[in-house]
Amino acid sequence: MEYTQLGRTGLKVSRLVLGTMNFGPQTDEADSHAIMDAALDAGINFFDTANVYGWGENKGRTESIIGNWFAKGEGRRDKVVLATKVYGNMGADGPAWPNHDKLSAVNIRRAVDASLKRLQTDYIDVYQFHHIDRHTPFEEIWQAIDVLVQQGKILYVGSSNFPGYKIAQANEIAARRGGTIGLVSEQCLYNLAERRAEMEVIPAAQDYGLGVIPWSPLHGGLLGGVLKKEVEGKRRASGRAADALADPAVRAQIQSYEDLLDKHGIEPGEAALAWLLTRPGVTGPIVGPRTGEQLDSALRAAELELSEELLTGLDEIFPGPGPSPEAFAW
C-alpha cells in the first residue's frame, strides 16, 4: 500500500480510504469487523464514516460498529486515521429539533461528544463538515473547532460537498483568525462519469492545500461493469446507475467504456479506481466494500498501472468539463 500526506499536513494516509457507509445497513457487524481487519492487514489506515451512517432509526449504528472493533484492542485505534462527519439530523426522521443539526457551535459540541462515545475513542483525527451550513458563520464554526482542538477531541478538520468558493471562504476566515489550520481535506463526488469537481472544487482544494477524497468512485455502480453484469444475470442496476442507464446516450457511453476495458483486459471497477489515483490533487478514493471480495478488488486497483493509450481512451469517452472559467466562458 502506498501512502501520501493528507493535503498540506504531516499526516500520512493510505491511497485507498475505507468507506464504512454499508456497515450496519448492508453488512452485519461480524462481517464489517472482518473487512476492517483485512483492510488494516492490507495497509489501509484511513477509515471514513459519519455520525448519520446507519440511517433512519439506526443513525449512529456504523460508528458503534467501528467503536466495538476498536474495543477489541491489539492496536487497532492507534493504527487508524479516523475520519467522521457532522451536519445531519441525528434524531428520528423528520424535521430536526432546533440546534440538533448543521454546524452551530452547540450542535458541533453535542455531535462530537456523541461520536466519541459511539466510536469508543477519546479523539477523532479528521472531523469533517458533511455539508455547508448557509446560516452559521465560519467565525462561529472555527471558534467551536478551536475549543475541540484545545481539548484534544479532534486533530484536523475537513469538508465534504463544499463548492470551491466555500473552501476559499472557510480557509481565508481561518487564516484571519490565526492559530487555526483550517480545512485540510475535501470529500467530494468525483469519478469518470462525474467530473464537474475539476472546474473549481479541486483547483480550490489544491490552492489551499486540501487533500481531495472522492466519494462514489464507481458512481453508484455505473462504472463497475454494470452492463456486463446485466447480461450475465449477476446483478441489475439500481439507484443512481439505473437512473443514468435510462438515458440511451449514457447507456451507449457505458457500453463504450466497458468495451474499451475489455480490450485492455481490465475490470471496469478497478480501472475507475485506478484512474482516480492518477488525478492531480487526489489523496485517495473512498471504497465502500460490502464484502471481502469487493475489498480485494479495490486493493488490486491500487496496484494497477493504466497506460497512456487507455487514459486517452477514457478521456475520449468521459471528457472533463475543462478548467474554470474556460468551461463556461471564453
Give the contacts of 203 (CB within 8 A, at least 6 positions apart): 164, 323, 324
Q: Which H or E run contains 40?
A: helix 29-41
Q: How far apart are CA 111 and CA 116, in angstroms?
A: 9
Q: What is the DSSP letter of 56?
A: G
Judge whether 53 counts as a catalytic residue. yes
Q: What is the DSSP letter of 190?
A: -
Q: Three cell numbers at 114?
A: 456523541
Q: Which of 53, 156, 208, 257 is catalytic?
A: 53
Amino acid (one-letter) located at 215: W
- How distant, in Å, are the alpha carbons of 15, 198, 211, 285 from that of 282? 9, 11, 6, 8
Q: Three cell numbers at 72?
A: 477489541
Is residue 266 within 8 Å of residue 257, measured between CB atoms? Answer: no
For residue 153, which of 106, 119, 178, 102 has the smallest C-alpha distance? 119
Q: How far apart are CA 299 and CA 291, in angstroms?
A: 13
Cα–Cα–Cα angle for 135, 141, 144, rounded to 5 degrees: 140
Instruction: Tell me how far apart the terminal alpha carbons of the chain are, to the nearest angstrom.
Output: 42
Q: Which residues of 49-82 are buried (b: 16+ CB within 10 A; e: fewer)?
A: bbbbbbeeeebbbbbbbbbebbeeeeebbeebbb
- For 323, how many CA atoms within 13 A lie in the half-sphere containing its CB? 3
Three-class HEC string of 196-214: HHHCCHHHHHHHCCCEEEE
Catalytic residues, by residue number, are: 53
